[in-house]
Amino acid sequence: MHLERDIDLKPFNTFGIHARADALGRFGDVSTLREMLKATDGLQRLILGGGSNILLTQDFHGVVLMNGISGIELVREDADHVWVKAGAGIVWHDLVLYFVQRGWGGVENMSLIPGKVGAAPMQNIGAYGVELKDVFHELEALRVDDGEVVHFDKVACAFGYRESFFKRAGKDRFVILNVTLRLSKHPVLNTSYGNIKQELERRGVSTPSLVDVSEAVIAIRQSKLPDPAVIGNAGSFFKNPVVSAEVAQRIRAEYADMPGYPTGDGLVKLAAGWLIEKAGWKGYREGAFGVHAAQALVLVNHGGAAGKDIFELSTHILADIQERFGVELEREVNIL
């Protein structure tokens, strides 16, 4: 077991923020993780995947533990489905490509979401009408308190929109080791969301395959979302707010073009990006940080910004949206 001391975390977060950690250790298996937890007992710890959903607002006075658990295993198969267990340290998009290439459907709409498999259950990642929970079977996690490996089924994970047990009551108490997904051998494609259909038409594809859908999603994402290798960001900074039908109606009385999606329980999900754009923030820039010019839901580091500047900007945006629309936004990104 080896811990590196006084580390700059810039290469390990997609916002590209400079912040120091007292120490950093890498684990690729459960026994190394157990050793590291024992050796760092009493210290503050941060389990890190790809660092694509965190904002570092200060130095981290503790130990960063980087998950490198690999391995993809076919654990079960029947006429219609495969169950595949994937190590938490695998890059999510690599796993998506692995499935797409084998003709196993279910995750193609979640192509190109950055980060690692182990973080996917944290906020029940989602895109283009599909969420992790739709293909999730179970996961194994190490309980930090006693080092025991615990199984979680879908109910125990308490998945919601960008929510799970691990983001709430289970926060900092478990290290996700692997995730088992159930994929379909006879995939039914979901092309109705956003402009997947238009993108397929533009490409001249009339009977799409899993690869076609994956490539269409990748192209749409690349046209909207900044590449963290070029502009620092962590994807959507806020969640899309879910409001009462009355609140949605009140705003729509003033703005007839406001997008809104009924959630089926009398509530309406609004587009935070639309609200932020309407409030005039899209493309806003203050020195090294600002709001992405093509997607107002994404806060960006143009290079050299401090995490606390981006956090403060998010506070101004929260207050402005509350004042203008009477809608409370919630940060999606994990603030450290």
Would you please indicate which residues are annotated as catalytic (active-site) residues?
A: 162, 236, 332
Close Cβ partners of 212 (under 8 Å, ≥ 6 residues apart): 200, 203, 205
| Dihedral over Cα of 196, 198, 203, 206: its sign | positive
- Residue 182 binds which of ligand FAD, ligand EPU, none (CB < 5-8 A, kind-dependent): none
Q: In the set 180, 240, 301, 314, which binds ligand EPU (CB under 6 A)?
A: 240
How many angstroms separate the CA atoms of 81 and 183, rounded?
A: 6
Nearer to ligand EPU, 37 or 248 (CB): 248
Nearer to ligand EPU, 12 or 128 (CB): 128
Enumerate binding residues for ligand FAD (CB under 6 A).
Answer: 14, 46-54, 67, 88, 113-116, 118-120, 122-123, 125-127, 174-176, 225, 228, 233-235, 334
How many angstroms separate the CA atoms of 17 and 314, rounded?
A: 16
- Residue 194 binds which of ligand EPU, ligand FAD, none (CB < 5-8 A, kind-dependent): ligand EPU
- Residue 273 binds which of ligand EPU, ligand FAD, none (CB < 5-8 A, kind-dependent): ligand EPU
Strand duo 298-301 + 232-236: pairing: antiparallel
Nearer to ligand FAD, 155 or 229 (CB): 229
How many angstroms separate the CA atoms of 295 and 290, rounded?
A: 11
Is 119 in contact with 12 (CB distance < 8 Å)?
no
Q: In the set 277, 334, 335, 336, which binds ligand EPU (CB under 6 A)?
A: 277
Two tokens at 87?
Answer: 């190590």
| Interface pattern 104-143 for ligand EPU (x via CB under 6 A) | -----------------------xx---------------
Nearest to 41 by CA among 60, 65, 57: 65
Nearer to ligand FAD, 53 or 191 (CB): 53
The per-residue DSSP string of 92-150 comes to HHHHHHHHHHHT-BSSGGGTT--SBGGGTTTTT-EETTEEGGGTEEEEEEEETTT--EE
Whole-number minimum distance, CB 76 to ligand FAD, in Å? 23
Strand duo 267-270 + 242-244: pairing: antiparallel
Could you count the other beta carbons within 10 Å of the beta carbon of residue 286? 13
Nearer to ligand EPU, 164 or 295 (CB): 295
- Residue 128 binds which of ligand FAD, ligand EPU, none (CB < 5-8 A, kind-dependent): ligand EPU
Q: In the set 12, 104, 165, 274, which binds ligand EPU (CB under 6 A)?
A: 274
Applying CB under 6 A, the residues found at the interface with ligand EPU are 127-128, 194, 224, 235-236, 239-240, 259, 271, 273-274, 277, 282, 295-297, 332
